[in-house]
């Protein structure tokens, strides 16, 4: 049997060590490449998330603007209705006074809706609730009760 010489054994050990070093080098390069790939994926995900967020914000702003425009149009429509009431209602007597009062109320409401828009009206409602929390709570409970009654009666039929 041939037994390896000390030189051959040392050479085999050196080759094994070199192979292990090359393996560690390859592993380190693989880890580094994976780390760079992970960073690139993270950067891409952040960019996509940011773009989606910007698009959602733009859509939200567009919807909000359309709601504001629609509210303004409703205000103009209420004012036109006030003008029609004035034009077609009697000018004298009890009906004349009532129609003037209704027309003035419609005109005032139309100007309010047109000038304040949706945002301004929401701010006014918020301020009203803050100034009168108990009555606002009672109104909320009452409206909830009425909606509950309405829904329960419609489900029985």
Structure confidence at residue 134 (pLDDT): 94
Sort 131 into a burial class: Cβ within 10 Å, 0-12 / 13-18 / 19+: exposed
Walking along the chain (157 residues) 10 residues at a time, the average pLDDT comes out as 73 82 85 84 84 84 83 88 88 86 90 86 91 93 93 77
Sign of the Cα pseudo-torsion (58, 60, 66, 68, in order):
negative
Structure confidence at residue 137 (pLDDT): 93
Cβ density class 105-130: b for 16+ within 10 Å, e for less: ebbebbeebbebbbeeeeeeeeeeee
Report d(CA 83, CA 133) in Å as an integer.
37
* Three-state secondary-structure class, residue 89: coil
């Amino acid at each position: 049997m041939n037994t390896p010489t000390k030189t051959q054994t040392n050479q085999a050990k050196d080759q094994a060590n070199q192979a292990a070093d090359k393996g560690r080098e390859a592993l380190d390069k693989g880890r580094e490449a994976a780390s760079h790939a992970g960073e690139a994926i993270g950067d891409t995900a952040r960019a996509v998330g940011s773009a989606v967020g910007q698009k959602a914000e733009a859509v939200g702003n567009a919807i909000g603007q359309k709601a504001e425009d629609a509210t303004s149009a409703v205000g103009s429509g209420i004012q036109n209705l006030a003008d029609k009431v004035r034009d077609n209602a009697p000018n004298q007597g009890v009906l004349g006074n009532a129609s003037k009062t209704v027309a003035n109320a419609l005109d005032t409401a139309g100007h309010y809706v047109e000038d304040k828009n949706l945002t301004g009206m929401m701010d006014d409602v918020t301020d009203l609730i803050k100034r009168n929390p108990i009555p606002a709570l009672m109104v909320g409970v009452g409206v909830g009760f009425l909606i509950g009654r309405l829904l329960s009666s419609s489900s029985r039929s």
